[in-house]
Amino acid sequence: MPAEVMTYLMNNLPFAAHLVNAYQGTDFEAVYLDKTRKRFSGSGERISGTFTRVLQNESKTSSLYHGSGTADVLAWSLRGSALFLFDFEQTGMQETTYNARCFVFPRSAFVRSILNFILFRRSIIGEFKRTFGYIEDSAMTFHRGDRAPIENYPAFSTPEGRQQIMEFQLLLQRTMGEAEAAPALPTADIPKQTAQEPAGELP
């Protein structure tokens, strides 16, 4: 996925959350809390809280976030604050690599005593990897032309939602080209007396 597409999604978090929900059946949520879009509340499968984008470079490919909230990991429901650094760069025509670092500061002294457990650390890292995997997979599925989840998703049936979908589609076409058309059905599966309809081009 091109870096420009990732930039768009990371700086339009409510849209990214709805896109993932539509294609993955998840229940992510992101809401901006000010006009600058620096503060937002969000929730995922196991993480929720309020965050502020503290720093961002000019190209919007490196961002530092600070926030507080709750993370459900293994048998613990953890409350505390966190610093999250996310940066990415394009390494190919349609390939982007990213680096995510998270520093967590739990309120509980007991929880702080277990932070070095490998399993605990892997659980935190796994949550972030899964979330970014959802984002990339949803964007690519959209680009390939699967529109059924979008059509059935309430947030994209509003005028604002349809406008966002159009903007995202134009961005993908500009950065990745037209999506490949779906393969035609084998002629053996089509009754001889029924004329096959021409395959339409995907938007």
Determine phi and psi for 39, rounding to 5 degrees: -110, 135
What is the secondary structure of 52-81 as a DSSP string?
EEEEE-TTS-EEEEEEEEEEEETTEEEEEE
Q: Which domains does the chain have, with CATH numbers?
A: 3-176 (3.30.530)
pLDDT at position 181 is 42
pLDDT tens across 105-122, in order?
777 666 666 654 555 666
pLDDT at position 182 is 39
Each residue's pLDDT, cut to its tens digit, for the chain (203 residues) gives: 888 999 999 999 999 999 999 999 999 999 999 999 999 999 888 888 899 999 999 989 899 999 888 877 667 777 888 888 989 888 877 788 888 888 877 776 666 666 545 556 666 677 778 888 899 999 999 999 999 999 989 999 999 999 999 999 999 999 888 654 433 333 334 344 444 444 444 44
Pairing of strands 76-92, 47-56: unpaired
pLDDT at position 198 is 44
Is the dihedral angle over the CA atoms 149, 99, 6, 52 positive or is it negative? positive
What is the secondary structure of 65-125 as a DSSP string?
EEEEEEEEETTEEEEEEEEEEEEEEEEETTEEEEEEEEEEEES-HHHHTTTT-HHHHHHHH
